[in-house]
Structure 1
């Protein structure tokens, strides 16, 4: 949806870029980061996305730590929606434990991800 913004953090460059291109094609303002430190830097440099979409396991970092960091930011700097993507099977209870709004299992369908995020943003 035009006017929305998203920060995508995944160390799988091809997937991160594919998701970025998908959301860009819909008119979203997109930032793609391949590391958790790069994502934190984008947030601290003034990028306030409507949504954070992060991999659960990012190279030497933990996506859950990135989510925790984001949830610790002042409310006005936090993304409204936080979603995790993972190649590992985890239960819905674990998704809630990560303080995420959504948990998507790879391979992800960009349309399904977008629809889930837009439902929460519209609500």
Structure 2
């Protein structure tokens, strides 16, 4: 039996980037829930909508990626996360990672194959 497609909650404030990423992820077989910022992503999560992986930008209005990760992992410490940013933190992913669950950090611009691999890797679906 084929496992259900991974559901990715994507928080990306750059609309064009979000559209391109969504299309590529859909083509790769994922289901994608899109949010224009961290606050909107948090609202989607609060409604009880199921998702397997968080894909988030770091710099966004209203609620940034770092805070989004912290708030979602407060309720789901095992939540796999892929962070995409043009401005990686000086300490790399260790600055974003508390060690409780898988986290990958990708620097923009991101190759779609690398992103797909990172999502599957954190979700343990390689």
**TM-score of the pair, normalised by structure 1:** 0.85
11, 14, 19: which one aligns with 1:12: 14
Alpha-carbon deviation of 1:65?
0.1
- In the other structure, the counterpart of 2:125 is 122
**8 Å CA contact 1:17, 1:32 repeated in 2:** no
Mapping of 1:99-118 within 5 angstroms? Answer: 99=97, 101-118=103-120
Segments of 5+ residues of structure 2 without an aligned counterpart are none
58, 61, 76: which one aligns with 1:59: 61
Distance in 2 between residues matched to 1:108 and 1:7, nearest whole Å: 17
Count of aligned pairs between the two proteins: 119
Segments of 4+ moved more than 6 angstroms: none
CA deviations 1:28-66 (Å, max 9, x no partner) are 111111011110011111222111010000024321000
Distance in 1 between residues matched to 2:44 and 2:119, nearest whole Å: 20
Task: Give the number of the structure whose residues are more often helix, by fraction.
Answer: 1
- In the other structure, the counterpart of 2:51 is 49
Mapping of 1:29-108 within 5 angstroms? Answer: 29-74=31-76, 79=79, 81-91=80-90, 93-99=91-97, 101-108=103-110
Distance in 2 between residues matched to 1:22 and 1:4, nearest whole Å: 14
**TM-score of the pair, normalised by structure 2:** 0.83
Segments of 5+ residues of structure 1 without an aligned counterpart are none
Alpha-carbon deviation of 1:109?
1.0
RMSD: 2.0
SS in 2 for 1:58: coil
